[in-house]
Structure formats: C-alpha cells, structure tokens
C-alpha cells in the first residue's frame, strides 16, 4: 500500500506504475482517510475562506486526482480487469461523495460565510465558488430528511453504475462487430486510406498477410472505418449491413441498453421529484445558463424552423442528383445511401473530394498550424515535451505551453488515434491537474494546469503519418479550444479555474469558437501542406473548401436539433411506465426533426452516451446554445478584420483575458459581455451556417 501510485494524490500521474489490481485497495484506503479528514473538518470548521473552502479543496482534490486517473484509464485503456476493479469500488466513491455533498456542517458554514461580514471582501470568483457549493449541496439532497436522503443516495449509486454499464455495453457492442472483405468487388470505391487502414486492422486481428492491395480487409464500427465506408463504398448491400449494425449497437443480447435507458430515466425522474422539481430537466437547468425549459425550446424551435426547410431542400436536390445518374436505388433513397450520394454530389458540385485533402493534413503539420494560430491569437507558444512524463500508450504525446517570456504556464497530453479495443469513441478534453495557488509553509507557488486531449482519428498506416480528414482537423481544433480554457485560466482557485463552475451550456463556447479558424485563410494555408512534397494546398482547393462549408448545413443542424429535442422530451415530458417507450418518444420527435424517418432497426438511443453515460442529460441543447455564443465571438474577429494582424492580436488578447482567463469566476453572460460588449445574437450562427433569412 505504501507504494500504491493511486495514493500520491497530486502531480503528474505515474501511468507506467498503475495496475488494475491497485485500484480497489488504493481507493478503499483513500476513502477511509478522506472520511476521517471530513469528520475532523466538520468538527473544527470556521465560516471563512481559509477555515472552510481551502481545507475542503485539499480534501476533494485528493479524491478528484485519484479517481480521475482511474476514470481516465477506463476511457483510454479499458480492460476486463480495470473494469471489474472500477465497478467494485465505484459504489464506495459515490457513497463518500454523497456524504460530502450532504454535510450539514459544511452547508451551514457556506451559508454563514455568505451571510457574514467578510463576504464583501471576497473576490467575485470566490463568491461564485461558495454560492455554487450551496446550490450543489441543495441539488445533492442536503435538505432531505433521513428516509428520503437514503433513497436519494441509493439512486445516485444506481445511476453511477448504470452509466458505467451503458458505456461498457456501447464499447463492447462496437468492438464485437466487423466485416471481413476478401474480394476486390467488396472494396470497390474505397479510397486507399481506408483500404490501408482496413488491411492494418485485419493484420491486427490475425490476418498476417493482409495488404491494402489484396486484402483481406476488416471494416469496423469505429468512426475512421465506418464513416469513409458509408461515403465511398459502391456496394450498397454492404453499406446497408454496416449502417444497420451501427444504428442498432447495444440494443440486443448481453449488451442491450434498452432496459438501462428506461431505468436511468425512471431514477432521474424520481431523483428530481425528491428535490422538489417537476422533471429531471428542471433539475438539470437549475445549474445552467438557460433560465428555463421554455427558453431552451424557443432556441431549438427557432433553429428547427430555419433548418427543416433547408434540410428538405437538401434531400430533394440529393434525390435529383442521384436519379440523374440512372441508378436503380435512387428511386427510394435510404439512410445508408445518403452519405454515399452526398459525397458524390459534393465531389461534382465543388470539384474535389474529402480524400483529396487528406495528404495535405498530416497530424504533425496540423499541430504546427494549430500552435501557430494560438500564438497569433493569444501570444502563447506550444512546444513538444515528449519523454518528460509517463504516458498510458506509446502514441500519446506531451506538450508545454509558455507565455511570451518563455515561462511554462500549462501542459497537455494528446492521445490522437483510434484504438477500438480499449478506447471509447468520440473526442474529449478532461482535466488532469487544475491551476491553483499552493502555499506550503511560507512559500506560495502557482500549480500549473495539465489537460488530457483525446481524439479518435485515423492512425498512421503503412509508414505514412496520420493523414487527417478535414472533419478530424475540426475535431482537434474543437478539443484544443476546451483545453485552452482549462490551460489559460487566470483563476487561482480550483473551484472556478478553467472549465470548473462554468454553466454547462456555456462550456462549448471556446471549443466551437476554435473550429471557425479551420476556414481562416492564414491558418488553413499555413498548415495544409502535402506530407510528401511539402507543397501548400492549392488555392483552388481552399476556395472549394470555403464554397462547400455550408453544403447540406440545414441537414447537419437538423440532426443536432433532433438529438436536443429528444433529450429534452425524455427528461421533461416523458413518463416512465406510460404509454410510450423512450424509442416511441424518439420516433414521434423524429416526425418534425428528421427528413428520413428512423428505421425500425434504429436503436440510436442505446448508444447515445452523451445523455446516458456523459454529462449532457437534459443538456444536449448546450451545443446549440453555446454555438450561438461561439459564432458571435468569432464575429468579433471578423469585424476586426481577419487580415489585420494588429486588430486580430488585440481582439485575441481581449478574448484570452475574458473567455479563456475568467473560467467559472463570473457568470458566462457577464464573461461574454466583457468580451463582446453586449449580449449574444443568433445572427452570426445563422450567417455562418448559410441559413440567415431562411425562416
């Protein structure tokens, strides 16, 4: 136990020393120590910042560090042994967290601090931290009587276990399906990037002689395999098979999430009722930027009205295009045809293909372009620091961020490639270490923030670097935007540093903001260089990329709105045990939020990890809510002049000093107004999407 790396509690995690068998004894001992520490704190508490918040931070950060490391490894290094250990000790973690959140002495001390004479002397960030602690305690059941509190805690434990089960089922179901193709006809239409990846995947699965030219080729449900196959395969029957496998993931057999979903919704509704809310959505919004359900629905409906007609037009044009090619299947376009024909239409309409761009976006070059941009905007330098810290996989990289003096101000890990056997899908940023002022004896130092940036892009294949699709480039920029808010914070209190204490529906602002720069001429042309020749992307490709930016944008927006409406409906109006199942609700909502209705086999909800295993329950609307903010924020740079370096630098400094620096220390509306000088408008989002004036 003395050498258990999970008990270090601070600093860079020693990933090379962490084994699954250390999780249960390490976390069990840690929880016992923290329980004693909590008791001591409750007995000697004083309602002051130094007597309450600082010791509480010290306590919670030990748990956040240790359990955070385990949770991170569950996402990127999943294994049966780690999964068993995690599930074994998770109920104890939830139990302690409930005890901490429901501590009457801590709650009363926070309220006493807020009502005391020293309150006005606290900084706004400190006041926000205390107010959030009071609110979160109330939303965690601190005011419940014994029997109701016990039931609330039981629900919390069950929901945590169900979320883990949901996520594991999706991972296992995704991993379990594959198509092994053996004839040239079966890979007709596939680009070399995919046949190379498919051959490499086949070799990894035991087909030692697999080659890109002769196969066999293994196609999976992992995004770098699934998406290009649907876009390019000439075999409609195989597209259908793959599509149906994808939309039915985790909906049958040992990995069936149908009951898991129903139980989660039932427990969330009961939890909300215990706290006095009419629905879980109301409980969710109690800590968000949106004032109420009506405001959320108003935004979603405004955007739905705008995008629905555009999406209808998109589909009509696609049908006409496909019909003109004289292919029999186009008389009734199906879901597995849309990606294929939209890619053909895009290629013909804009005279380029997504695959043609790949050679111009090798990961090292994209990183150089990204780092050049953040220096241009925010005056910080990013340099490689590989080999200076332990990593969990050989492909993981480590970087330092420095200010204009060259002094380090933050660090981040980058785990870029897809590993379907052990790594969950999607892309995310997470906290490794939060910024904080640390006082030891008479010395005070600033603890520098460290971020995890995780993607699932196409890995290097056959000696070539990772050649990224433009969508993968946008994803990397998106996650780096989250990372910038974590790493460039100027808040020294962990409770409001970086993304902490930011209302969830504002947290996507800096990430979506960064995506806009992928279309900025200086940024794109600076990083888009052929991986073999070093030649820059030809200008005609840049012009075509700009022209294609809003291709089928109505369909893309409507898809996101469909998810948002379904999420709100399930968490506000749906009644567990009523006449409708969650799938029925989704299909009803689909009548006004999809152009092609879902297939009977489509069990999308069974893999909707955002709301059933992530933080987006009754909050998926946040992507659109924050996109209004991010588009309007980028418009400030457009108004300054994207080619005016002095103006860009000044606007970037203002953005860094507000959106990136202030973290959760101010309400996001106040932060936005500090940057923009006014409240946000939807005008920029609709203009950027090519949908202004449609509705």
Half-sphere exposure for 663 (CA within 13 Å, toward CB): 28
Q: What whole-number distance in Å separates Cα of residue 433 and Cα of residue 65?
A: 8
d(CA 108, CA 146): 17
CA distance 56 to 62: 10
What's the pLDDT score for residue 188? 98
Assigned token pair, 448: 């520098």
Can you give the pLDDT at residue 354?
87
Burial of 74 (0-12, 13-18, 19+ CB in 10 A): buried
Residues composing the chain: 695
| 358-390 pLDDT per residue, tens | 999 999 999 999 999 999 999 999 999 999 999
Q: In whole angstroms, give the CA distance from residue 549 to residue 556.
A: 11
* Interior/surface letters 221-244, b for 16+ CB within 10 angstroms, e for the rest: bbbbbbbbbbbbbebeebbbebbe
Q: What is the pLDDT of residue 1?
A: 61
pLDDT for position 694: 59
Cα–Cα distances (Å) from 1 to 244, 503, 538, 575, in that order, read 48, 39, 59, 48
- Residues belonging to the active site: 479
Helix and strand tally (H, E) in the chain? Answer: 26, 9
Look-up of token digits 């005056």: 379
Average confidence (pLDDT) per 10 residues, the chain, 695 residues: 88 97 97 98 96 96 97 97 97 97 98 97 97 98 96 98 97 96 98 96 95 97 96 97 98 97 98 98 97 97 94 94 80 91 95 92 97 98 98 98 97 96 94 94 94 96 93 97 98 97 96 97 96 96 94 96 98 95 98 96 97 96 96 98 97 98 97 97 92 70
Helices 645-655 and 622-640 sit at what angle, rounded to 10 degrees? 140
Cis-peptide, bond into residue 216, ω within 30° of zero: yes
Domains of the chain, CATH where assigned? 5-143 (1.20.1050.40), 177-249 (no CATH), 293-356+553-614 (no CATH), 358-496 (3.40.390.10), 624-688 (no CATH)
Burial 581-606 (b: 16+ CB within 10 A, else e): ebbebbbebbeebbbeebbeebbbbb
Kindly report, residue by residue over 312-338, the tens digit of the pLDDT: 999 999 999 999 988 766 668 999 999
- Backbone φ and ψ for 290, nearest 5 degrees, come out as -60, 135
Q: Which H helix or E strand runs over 265?
A: helix 258-274
What residues does 429 pair with on adjacent strands?
A: 453
3-state secondary structure of 386: coil
Residue with tokens 């991972």: 171
Query: In this structure, are strands 381-384 and 217-220 parallel, antiparallel, or unpaired?
Result: unpaired
Q: What is the 8-class DSSP label of residue 413?
A: E
Q: Where are the alpha helices (DSSP H) in 572-643?
A: 582-593, 609-612, 622-640
Sequence-distant (≥ 6) Cβ neighbours of residue 250 within 8 angstroms: 166, 169, 170, 172, 173, 256, 257, 603, 606, 607
């Amino acid at each position: 136990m003395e050498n258990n790396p999970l008990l270090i509690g601070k600093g860079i995690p020693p990933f090379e020393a962490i084994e699954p068998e250390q999780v249960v004894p390490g976390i069990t001992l840690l929880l016992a120590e923290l329980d004693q520490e909590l008791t001591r704190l409750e007995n000697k508490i004083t309602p002051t910042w130094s007597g309450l918040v600082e010791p509480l931070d010290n306590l919670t950060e030990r748990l956040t560090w240790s359990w955070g490391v385990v949770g991170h490894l569950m996402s990127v290094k999943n294994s049966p042994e780690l999964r068993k250990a995690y599930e074994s000790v998770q109920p104890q973690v939830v139990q302690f967290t409930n005890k901490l959140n429901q501590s009457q002495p801590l709650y009363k001390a926070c309220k006493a601090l807020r009502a005391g004479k020293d309150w006005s002397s606290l900084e706004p960030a400190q006041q926000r931290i205390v107010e959030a602690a009071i609110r979160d305690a109330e939303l965690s059941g601190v005011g419940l009587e014994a029997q109701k509190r016990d039931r609330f805690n039981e629900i919390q434990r069950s929901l945590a276990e169900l979320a883990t089960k949901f996520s594991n089922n999706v991972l296992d179901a995704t991993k379990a399906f594959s198509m092994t193709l053996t004839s040239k006809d079966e890979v007709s239409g596939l680009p070399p990037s995919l046949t190379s990846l498919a051959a490499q995947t086949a070799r990894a699965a035991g087909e030692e002689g697999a080659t890109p030219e002769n196969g066999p080729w293994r196609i999976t449900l992992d995004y770098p395999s699934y998406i290009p196959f649907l876009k390019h395969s000439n075999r409609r029957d195989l597209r259908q098979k793959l599509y149906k496998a994808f939309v039915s993931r985790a909906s049958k057999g040992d990995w069936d999430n149908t009951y898991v979903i129903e139980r989660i919704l039932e427990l969330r509704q009961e939890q909300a009722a215990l706290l006095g809310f009419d629905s879980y959505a109301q409980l969710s919004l109690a800590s968000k930027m949106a004032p109420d359900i009506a405001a959320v629905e108003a935004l979603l409906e405004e955007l739905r009205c705008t995008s629905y007609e555009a999406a209808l037009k998109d589909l009509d044009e696609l049908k006409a295009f496909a019909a003109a090619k004289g292919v029999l299947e186009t008389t009734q376009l199906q879901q597995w045809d849309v990606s294929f024909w939209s890619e053909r239409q895009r290629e013909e309409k804009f005279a380029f293909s997504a695959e043609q761009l790949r050679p111009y976006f090798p990961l090292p070059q994209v990183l150089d372009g990204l780092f050049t941009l953040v220096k241009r905007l925010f005056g910080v330098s990013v340099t490689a620091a590989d080999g200076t810290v332990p990593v969990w996989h050989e492909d993981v990289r480590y970087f330092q961020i420095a200010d204009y003096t060259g002094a380090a101000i933050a660090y981040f890990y980058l785990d870029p490639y897809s590993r379907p056997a052990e790594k969950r899908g999607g892309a995310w940023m997470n906290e490794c270490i939060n910024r904080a002022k640390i006082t030891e004896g008479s010395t005070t130092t600033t603890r520098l923030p460290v971020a995890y940036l995780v993607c699932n892009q196409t890995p290097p294949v056959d000696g070539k670097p990772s050649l990224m699709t433009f969508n993968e480039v946008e994803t990397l920029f998106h996650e780096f935007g989250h990372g910038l808010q974590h790493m460039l914070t100027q808040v020294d209190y962990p409770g409001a540093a970086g993304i902490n204490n930011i209302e969830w529906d504002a947290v996507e602002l800096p990430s979506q903001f960064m995506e806009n720069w992928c279309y900025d001429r200086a940024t794109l042309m600076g990083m888009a260089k052929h991986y073999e020749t070093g030649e820059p992307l030809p200008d005609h490709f840049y012009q075509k990329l700009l022209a294609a930016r809003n291709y089928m944008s109505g369909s893309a927006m409507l898809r996101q709105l469909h998810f948002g409406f379904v999420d709100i409906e399930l968490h506000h109006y749906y009644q567990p045990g009523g006449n409708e199942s969650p799938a029925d609700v989704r299909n009803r909502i689909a009548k006004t939020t999809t152009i092609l209705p879902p297939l009977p086999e489509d069990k999308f909800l069974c893999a909707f990890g955002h709301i059933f295993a992530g933080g987006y329950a009754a909050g998926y609307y946040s992507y659109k809510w924050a996109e209004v903010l991010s588009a309007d924020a980028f418009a400030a740079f457009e108004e300054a002049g994207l080619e005016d370096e002095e103006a860009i630098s000044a606007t970037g400094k203002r953005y860094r000093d507000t959106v990136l620096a202030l973290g959760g220390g101010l309400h996001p509306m106040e932060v936005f107004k500090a940057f923009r000088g006014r409240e946000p408008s939807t005008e920029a989002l609709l203009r950027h999407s090519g949908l202004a004036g449609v509705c």
